[in-house]
Chains A and B, each alone.
Chain A
Amino acid sequence: MTSVTGVNFAPKGALRRLMDRKLAVFGMMLIAIVVAGAIFAPWIAPFAPDQQNFDGLTIEGAPMAPGGAYLMGTDLLGRDLFSRILYGARTSLLIGVVANGLALLIGTLVGLTAGYFRGWVGSVLMRFTDLMMAFPALLLAICLAAIFQPSLWIVALVIALVNWVQTARVIYTETTSLATRDFIAAERTLGASTGRILFKHILPHLVPTIIVWGTLGISTTVLLEATLSFLGVGVQPPTASWGNIIFENQTYFQSAPWLVFIPGAAIILLALAFNLVGDALRDVLDPTQRGRA
Chain B
Amino acid sequence: MSAALPNAGAALAPEVLSVQGLTVSVRTGNGDRALVENLSFTLHRGETLAIAGESGSGKSITSLAIMGLLPPPAVRITAGSVRLGDTDLTKLPEAQMRSLRGARIAMIFQEPMTSLNPVLTIGAQLTEAIRAHSDATRSEARAQALAALQAVRLSQPEQRLKQYPHELSGGMRQRVMIAMALALRPEVLIADEPTTALDVTVQREVLDLLRDLQREFGTAIILITHDMGVVAEMADRVIVMKAGQVVEAATTRDIFVAPQMPYTQNLLAAVPRMGNGSRVSSDVPRDRSGETIARLRDVVVRFPLKGGILGRTTAHVHAVEHVSFDIRRGETFALVGESGCGKSTIAKAIVGLAPHQGRIEIAGQSFSDLDAAGQKALRRRVQIVFQDPMAALDPRMTVGALIAEPLVIHRLGSAAEQRARASELMQRVGLTDDQLNRYPHEFSGGQRQRICIARALALQPDLIIADESVSALDVSVQARVLELLQTLQREYGVAFLFISHDMAVVENISDRVAVMYLGQIVETGSRAQVFGNPQHAYTQRLIEAVPVPDPSHIRAASPRLAGDVPSPVHTLGQGPARLVMVDVGDGHLVARLYDGAEKHCLSSANFRRE
**Residues of chain B with a CB closer than 8 A to A11's CB:** 437
Instruction: Please tell me if the beta carbons of B418 and A201 are within 8 angstroms of each other in the complex.
Output: no
Q: Does B312 contact A (CB under 8 A)?
A: no
What CA separation (Å) do A192 and B376 show in the bound complex?
8
* A176 → B minimal CB distance (Å): 16
Complex interface: stretch among A28-36, A37-45, A182-190, A229-237: A182-190
* A129 → B minimal CB distance (Å): 21
Given contacts A185-B353, A189-B383, A190-B379, contact A7 B409 (CB under 8 A): no
Instruction: Please tell me if the beta carbons of B401 and A3 are within 8 angstroms of each other in the complex.
Output: no
Instruction: Please tell me if the beta carbons of B388 and A6 are within 8 angstroms of each other in the complex.
Output: no
* B515 → A minimal CB distance (Å): 26
**Residues of chain B with a CB closer than 8 A to A1's CB:** 414
Across the two chains, which residue of chain B brings its CB closest to A7? Answer: B404
| Nearest 3 Cβ contacts at the A-B interface | A9-B400, A3-B415, A191-B379
**Residues of chain A with a CB closer than 8 A to B382's CB:** 189
Complex interface: stretch among B3-11, B391-399, B495-503: B391-399
Instruction: Please tell me if the beta carbons of B392 and A182 are within 8 angstroms of each other in the complex.
Output: yes
A contacts, CB < 8 Å to B: 1-11, 181-183, 185-193, 196, 201, 204-205, 285-288, 290
Instruction: Please tell me if the beta carbons of A6 and B393 are within 8 angstroms of each other in the complex.
Output: no
**Residues of chain B with a CB closer than 8 A to A2's CB:** 411-414
Given contacts A4-B411, A196-B409, contact A183 B439 (CB under 8 A): no
Instruction: Please tell me if the beta carbons of B380 and A3 are within 8 angstroms of each other in the complex.
Output: no
**Residues of chain A with a CB closer than 8 A to B410's CB:** 191
Q: Does B406 contact A (CB under 8 A)?
A: yes
**Residues of chain B with a CB closer than 8 A to A192's CB:** 405, 409
**Residues of chain B with a CB closer than 8 A to A196's CB:** 409
Q: Does B436 contact A (CB under 8 A)?
A: yes
In the complex, which of the residues A10, A183, A287 contacts B391, with contact meaning CB atoms closer than 8 Å? A183
**Residues of chain A with a CB closer than 8 A to B280's CB:** none
**Residues of chain A with a CB closer than 8 A to B413's CB:** 2-3
Q: Does B1 contact A (CB under 8 A)?
A: no
**Residues of chain B with a CB closer than 8 A to A286's CB:** 396
Instruction: Please tell me if the beta carbons of A9 and B398 are within 8 angstroms of each other in the complex.
Output: yes
* A189 → B minimal CB distance (Å): 5
Q: A4-B408, A10-B398, A183-B393 are in contact. List 7 more A-B contacts (CB 8 A).
A: A4-B411, A5-B408, A7-B419, A7-B422, A187-B405, A189-B379, A190-B455
What CA separation (Å) do A193 and B379 show in the bound complex?
12
**Residues of chain A with a CB closer than 8 A to B383's CB:** 189-190
What CA separation (Å) do A193 and B408 show in the bound complex?
11
**Residues of chain B with a CB closer than 8 A to A8's CB:** 401, 415
* B348 → A minimal CB distance (Å): 8
In the complex, which of the residues A3, A187, A188, A287 contacts B396, with contact meaning CB atoms closer than 8 Å? A287
Given contacts A4-B408, A10-B401, contact A189 B391 (CB under 8 A): no
In the complex, which of the residues A181, A190, A204, A285 contacts B405, with contact meaning CB atoms closer than 8 Å? A190
Instruction: Please tell me if the beta carbons of A186 and B400 are within 8 angstroms of each other in the complex.
Output: no
Q: Which of B402-440 contact A (CB under 8 A)?
A: 404-406, 408-415, 418-419, 422, 436-437, 439
What CA separation (Å) do A187 and B379 show in the bound complex?
11
Instruction: Please tell me if the beta carbons of B353 and A188 are within 8 angstroms of each other in the complex.
Output: yes
Instruction: Please tell me if the beta carbons of A182 and B391 are within 8 angstroms of each other in the complex.
Output: yes
* A284 → B minimal CB distance (Å): 12
* A25 → B minimal CB distance (Å): 23
What CA separation (Å) do A124 and B555 show in the bound complex?
60
Across the two chains, which residue of chain B brings its CB closest to A181? Answer: B391
What CA separation (Å) do A192 and B413 show in the bound complex?
16
**Residues of chain B with a CB closer than 8 A to A182's CB:** 386, 388, 391-392
Given contacts A183-B391, A186-B384, A189-B353, contact A3 B437 (CB under 8 A): no
What CA separation (Å) do A218 and B414 show in the bound complex?
43
Q: Does B599 contact A (CB under 8 A)?
A: no
* B467 → A minimal CB distance (Å): 10
In the complex, which of the residues A4, A10, A189, A191 contacts B437, with contact meaning CB atoms closer than 8 Å? A10
Residue from B393, B394, B437 with most neighbouring chain A CB atoms (10 Å):
B394
Instruction: Please tell me if the beta carbons of A3 and B414 are within 8 angstroms of each other in the complex.
Output: yes
In the complex, which of the residues A7, A187, A201, A205 contacts B400, with contact meaning CB atoms closer than 8 Å? A7
Q: Does B351 contact A (CB under 8 A)?
A: yes
What CA separation (Å) do A175 and B415 show in the bound complex?
30
**Residues of chain B with a CB closer than 8 A to A290's CB:** 439
Q: Which of B332-389 contact A (CB under 8 A)?
A: 351-353, 375-376, 379-380, 382-384, 386, 388
26 contacts between A and B (CB under 8 A): A2-B411, A2-B414, A3-B411, A3-B413, A3-B418, A6-B401, A7-B408, A9-B400, A9-B422, A182-B392, A183-B391, A183-B393, A183-B394, A185-B353, A185-B386, A186-B392, A188-B352, A188-B353, A189-B352, A189-B379, A189-B384, A191-B376, A191-B380, A192-B405, A196-B409, A287-B441
What CA separation (Å) do A256 and B459 show in the bound complex?
72
**Residues of chain A with a CB closer than 8 A to B353's CB:** 185, 188-189
What CA separation (Å) do A181 and B408 show in the bound complex?
21
* A70 → B minimal CB distance (Å): 51
Instruction: Please tell me if the beta carbons of B394 and A201 are within 8 angstroms of each other in the complex.
Output: yes
**Residues of chain A with a CB closer than 8 A to B404's CB:** 6-7, 9
Instruction: Please tell me if the beta carbons of B376 and A9 are within 8 angstroms of each other in the complex.
Output: no
What CA separation (Å) do A124 and B406 show in the bound complex?
34
Instruction: Please tell me if the beta carbons of B392 and A9 are within 8 angstroms of each other in the complex.
Output: no
What CA separation (Å) do A65 and B588 show in the bound complex?
97
Across the two chains, which residue of chain B brings its CB closest to A290? Answer: B439
Instruction: Please tell me if the beta carbons of B408 and A205 are within 8 angstroms of each other in the complex.
Output: no
Across the two chains, which residue of chain B brings its CB closest to A286? Answer: B396
* B609 → A minimal CB distance (Å): 39
**Residues of chain A with a CB closer than 8 A to B379's CB:** 189-191
**Residues of chain A with a CB closer than 8 A to B352's CB:** 188-189
**Residues of chain B with a CB closer than 8 A to A6's CB:** 401, 404-405, 408
* B158 → A minimal CB distance (Å): 38
Instruction: Please tell me if the beta carbons of A9 and B401 are within 8 angstroms of each other in the complex.
Output: yes
Across the two chains, which residue of chain B brings its CB closest to A190? Answer: B406
**Residues of chain A with a CB closer than 8 A to B396's CB:** 204-205, 285-287
Given contacts A10-B398, A182-B391, contact A190 B436 (CB under 8 A): no
**Residues of chain A with a CB closer than 8 A to B414's CB:** 1-3
**Residues of chain A with a CB closer than 8 A to B400's CB:** 7, 9
* A122 → B minimal CB distance (Å): 15
What CA separation (Å) do A4 and B398 show in the bound complex?
16
In the complex, which of the residues B384, B408, B452 contacts A3, with contact meaning CB atoms closer than 8 Å? B408
* B30 → A minimal CB distance (Å): 14
* B304 → A minimal CB distance (Å): 14
Instruction: Please tell me if the beta carbons of A288 and B441 are within 8 angstroms of each other in the complex.
Output: yes
What CA separation (Å) do A173 and B283 show in the bound complex?
53
**Residues of chain A with a CB closer than 8 A to B452's CB:** 186
**Residues of chain A with a CB closer than 8 A to B441's CB:** 287-288
**Residues of chain B with a CB closer than 8 A to A186's CB:** 384, 386, 392-393, 452, 455
Residue from B414, B439, B459 with most neighbouring chain A CB atoms (10 Å):
B439
**Residues of chain A with a CB closer than 8 A to B386's CB:** 182, 185-186
Residue from A8, A189, A193 with most neighbouring chain B CB atoms (10 Å):
A189
**Residues of chain A with a CB closer than 8 A to B408's CB:** 3-7
**Residues of chain A with a CB closer than 8 A to B418's CB:** 3, 7
Q: Mark B514-533, 1 if CB is under 8 A from A, else 0.
A: 00000000000000000000
What CA separation (Å) do A38 and B386 show in the bound complex?
54
What CA separation (Å) do A182 and B351 show in the bound complex?
13
* B310 → A minimal CB distance (Å): 15
Instruction: Please tell me if the beta carbons of B384 and A287 are within 8 angstroms of each other in the complex.
Output: no
